[in-house]
Chain A
Amino acid sequence: MLRAAVTWLACSAAYGYALGTAHSELYAARNLVKLPLLFAVTGVVCSLAYFVVARAVGAPLSFLAVQRATWRLFHDLAVLLASLAPVVLFLALVARHSDDGQLGQYDLFLALNMLAVAVAGTLALARQSRGLFEEHRLEPPRARLLVGTWLLLTLMVGGQAAFWMRPFFGFPITRGYAAPPFFLKTEPDLRGASNFFEAVLQTIEHPALPEWLKRADD
């Protein structure tokens, strides 16, 4: 248990560090704490809902068993992401040393990391659902429904937690400014979103960037 906890902590911190390197050492160092905190907060906030959903789909799991299963999900996710940390670190360093000091490759880097989290999350999910129906003799469709619902809850809470805990890696133009707050909380982002759900809407609608940043991008 202790070993698993240390592994989870080290792996999530390593991935966080690699992410932050795209901006600066300050961001990278902060991410050593922020990434594990992000995973932990998401798991704790969702824990009760995980249990209720498990009982609703008829999974014979106690509250502790549910927490163990979701903990393993986060553990696997952290390990998988850590394995990508060297790749992310390399890309981050290249981007940092070749950007224009304005918008840089922020959107591309964000998209690649979203993809990494999605792939790692899906794989961890598939492994957990297989484990669930083997260990607890849960029918495969129910196991998938259960873990899929857990994923949806995790995405919702984790997304908002990540938005609130920004910045994990900021725009290059903010480099060299006075250190930003540890968490930006509800402060609107450059496109005006003040929470995760608005940011998702903006990703779909893709509104224009502020004029000063657009000019820099051109």
Chain B
Amino acid sequence: MNPSDPLPGPGVGPQFETFPRPTQATQPERPPPEPHADEDIARAAVDPVRLVDLVLAAPRRTGANVEQRRALGGIVAAFLLASVVFAIPYGCVLGWSAWWKVVVFYLGTTAICVPSLWVFSTYLGQKVNLAQILVLALSIPAVAAVFSFGFAPILGFMRWTMDDVSTRVSWHSLSNVLLGVAVAAGFAQLWRTSLSSKGMRESVLFPLVLMVWHAVFVFVLVRMGDVLDLGS
């Protein structure tokens, strides 16, 4: 497809082919990864280690699912499950009554921002359906939740060993840094997943949409943190 060609109509051409970059010098490409099978995703729902692997360890395979539109419902459900289950321990460290806050922090922000990603992508010619967008967007809260799960003992230790009245660096500020790192890991995973999809990799506009969307996401995330009183 030539950049000067008109946009294809719905259902025409490859699923992500739009605004392609000019052809570059060919490099030897890795063999395309296998998408996750339904059975793998079902097993991940009942096995925490497999769920961690589904969320973290195979972004190229998830990208293949997105590209081929296979088992997207299962992945969305698994990512939602991970976003909830793995975020709760960190919330408990913040305070027993705050067990839900990190879940809302990640998932609430994503829920607020998903419509804009879907609408803008579609409006700018990216032929993606809602399930594909959900898989991509939910990789942020899912990965962030798994990282938070790993950070929970660290925050617990910091909280236990640091003075609450400390004015310069408190455990709350460290918690904010850890939450930020977790979200940054989620962003990185979203990029790894989307760039492993050929259609999105070759699109010029989708990365731009993603970058602007990240700015919106971060803004909403910070405000969400204020609303949930996570900073103090």
Residues of A within 8 A of B (CB): 41, 44-53, 55-56, 58, 63, 153, 156-157, 160-161, 163-164, 185-186, 194-195, 197-198, 201
A49 lies within 8 A of B154 (CB): yes
Please name all residues of chain A whose beta carbon is closer than 8 Å to the beta carbon of B151 when the two chains form the complex. Answer: 49
A48 lies within 8 A of B157 (CB): no
Q: Which residue of B56, B152, B157, B169 is within 8 Å of A55 (Cβ)?
A: B56
B184 CB → nearest A CB, Å: 11
Please name all residues of chain A whose beta carbon is closer than 8 Å to the beta carbon of B189 when the two chains form the complex. Answer: 56
Per the bound structure, the CA–CA distance linking A56 and B53 in Å amounts to 8
Sample 13 A-B pairs with CB under 8 A, ordered by A number.
Answer: A48-B150, A49-B151, A52-B146, A56-B143, A153-B154, A160-B162, A186-B163, A186-B166, A195-B161, A198-B166, A198-B168, A198-B169, A201-B169
A48 lies within 8 A of B153 (CB): yes
Interface centre among B56, B149, B150, B189 (most CB of A within 10 A): B150
A194 lies within 8 A of B52 (CB): no
B162 lies within 8 A of A48 (CB): no
B168 lies within 8 A of A52 (CB): no
A164 lies within 8 A of B168 (CB): no
Does more than half of chain B's interface fall in helix, strand or loop, or is it mixed? helix
Q: Which residue of B150, B158, B169 is within 8 Å of A52 (Cβ)?
A: B150
What total of A-B pairs shows CB separation below 8 Å?
A: 74
Q: Which residue of A50, A56, A186 is within 8 Å of B162 (Cβ)?
A: A186
Q: Give the residue name and chain of the B residue nearest to A157 (CB).
A: B154
Task: Judge if B49 is at the interface, Cβ distance under 8 Å.
Answer: yes
Task: Judge if B185 is at the interface, Cβ distance under 8 Å.
Answer: yes
Interface size on B, residues (CB 8 A): 26
Please name all residues of chain B whose beta carbon is closer than 8 Å to the beta carbon of A58 when the two chains form the complex. Answer: 57
Return the CB mask of B78-92 against A: 1 if under 8 Å, else 0.
000000000000000
Does more than half of chain A's interface fall in helix, strand or loop, or is it mixed? helix
Residues of B within 8 A of A (CB): 49, 52-53, 56-57, 143, 146-147, 149-154, 156-158, 161-163, 166, 168-169, 174, 185, 189
Please name all residues of chain B whose beta carbon is closer than 8 Å to the beta carbon of A197 when the two chains form the complex. Answer: 168-169, 174
A195 lies within 8 A of B154 (CB): no
A194 lies within 8 A of B56 (CB): no
Q: Which residue of B56, B157, B174, B185 is within 8 Å of A45 (Cβ)?
A: B157
Per the bound structure, the CA–CA distance linking A51 and B154 in Å amounts to 13
Asked, given contacts A52-B52, A52-B56, A56-B143, whether A194 binds B166 with beta carbons under 8 Å apart, the answer is yes
A168 CB → nearest B CB, Å: 15
Q: Give the residue name and chain of the A residue nearest to B162 (CB).
A: A195
A63 CB → nearest B CB, Å: 7
Please name all residues of chain A whose beta carbon is closer than 8 Å to the beta carbon of B154 when the two chains form the complex. Answer: 45-46, 49, 153, 156-157
B49 lies within 8 A of A63 (CB): yes
Asked, given contacts A185-B161, A195-B169, A201-B168, whether A45 binds B52 with beta carbons under 8 Å apart, the answer is no
A186 lies within 8 A of B153 (CB): no
Q: Give the residue name and chain of the B residue nearest to A197 (CB).
A: B169
Per the bound structure, the CA–CA distance linking A55 and B55 in Å amounts to 9
B158 lies within 8 A of A160 (CB): yes
Per the bound structure, the CA–CA distance linking A121 and B183 in Å amounts to 28
Closest 8 pairs between A and B when the two form their complex, measured CB to CB = A52-B150, A197-B169, A186-B163, A49-B150, A164-B161, A55-B56, A45-B157, A194-B163
A49 CB → nearest B CB, Å: 4
